[in-house]
Structure 1
Amino acid sequence: MSLEAGTKVQMKVERKAPFGYFLSSGDTDVLLHESDTEGEVEIGDTIDVYLYHDHQDRLAATQHTPHVLLGEFSWLEVVDIHPRMGAFLNNGMRKDLLLPADQLPEIKDKWPRAGDRVYVQLEHDKQGRMLAVLGKEEDFEEITHPAPADLFNQDVTGYVYKIIKIGAFLLTEGQHLGFLHKDETTEPLRVGQKVTARVSRVREDGRINLTMKQRKEVSYSQDAETIYVYLQNRNGRMPYTDKTEPDIIKQKFGISKAAFKRALGKLMKEKKVYQEDGWTIITENK
């Protein structure tokens, strides 16, 4: 019987060792470490085990069920990052699974972090050791389905699986494929990152375009509230109006001149403030 890492096999328990048991397939002995056992193990038993390479690159066995086997796909959690080797993933076994650096973006800021999740397939390297390979767009075909039209303007959550120069691709928890253009993001994105975004378009092919930016009416309200609180903290008066220079607005309020004018316009329309001689004043102070 040919033994390969990443596969499930039946093996006979041949003998006890100080640190576990030796299992046999007939012509090959494999160590089942004590920490890899589940329940009672007796000499002479034939048991189901999963094969992997231990930290000394020896073929070993475990009774713990891995999250993904050879040739399968699964979402795995990132547990650690090595700047030269790549990302290490939790595959439900004692030894973490390596996602090599050549599978990840060239820019390390776009690499996943501990706690992120990546969609990977289990394969062998040239030495027969297990490694993870990132899923590609065509690999999602069997697990995705078209988004319904009524998903438009709804918030969805998903994980980034690919980053390109103009944006990021992600798979939502509803199993829809989405694209997030870089102009629609509010922070730099990385592979494996969990993202919540709003559906800005449901395409004819059932894929979705997304935005992380707030709806304009929400932004207007929040900016207007910020300005009003600022006024209240200045005894109801400030020397900033819709004529104030953009760099001053950005420095004082952290928003663009256009956003400031929209928010100020909202407050004036609601008659909460008015402008006079280069000042904005709370109406109740008039």
Structure 2
Amino acid sequence: MTTLGTLNDLKVLRLESGGAWLDGSPEGPILLPLEQVPPTLEPGQVLRVFAYREDEGRLVAYRRPPMALGGEVCFLKVVSVNPAGAYLDWGLPKPLFMPWKEVKHEVRRLVKPGQKVLVFLFSDEAGHLAASTRLSDFLVDEADEFKEGDQVSLVIGDRTDIGVRVVVNHRYWGMVHDSDLFGKVSRGETRDGWVKAPRADRKLSLSLSAPGYAKVDAVAQALLDTLKRRGGFLPVTDKSAPEQIYTLFGISKKVFKQTLGALYKARRISIDADGIRLLKAP
């Protein structure tokens, strides 16, 4: 069954001068434009494509998907505006429409060509994909499906008094608190995140670093490689500021200290007052 606005595996029905027609049942035949048709394509083959309904109602497929699919959050650039709304660059030949009614009042002044907006892609009443800045109309604040340590995808949202609000797996609101921020994050940026201990209010608290020792092995090798490139010495210790550690290695101070401990125990480094030194392999 074809689901518009997402990726589908569709069978080729026939080839014509304008492109290939794919079986979009129950939506009907879907056109794969000629420039998207592989030179060796034959009827009966199956292609993975992004299928959606254009403004005019025509069903079209593309082998290269856009920057976001239906049901996802993405940071998209405004290419033009008119009295009906704005058009956003989402990586396909025709821009994505965002009607003014889907633009929050406080965001409207930012919707102008060249600016970026954080939007949710949804299907309107006519079955066309559209964009909305009203993310809270589509996302929920509470979640029960996660346990501590689960890895998730994050889209960075707005800063608050206690941290940065994030979109979790394109479905939930979550928060990365200031205590878990060790470097700069940008609105619209996509990051990996990890769920912290469940909260009584069922809201999600996230970390940008893997919990416990899950990340230590990878960080240890990266730290050793950095030491080798820097001549065997780095002026940083377990007492260095979290910001300095994040700038150098992109990790929290907690993970850094765990990594130092593992390398010190394995006699790969020495920890001196002025920094860490690489030891020669025995």
TM bucket normalised to smaller: 0.3 to 0.5
What TM-score, normalized to structure 2?
A: 0.47
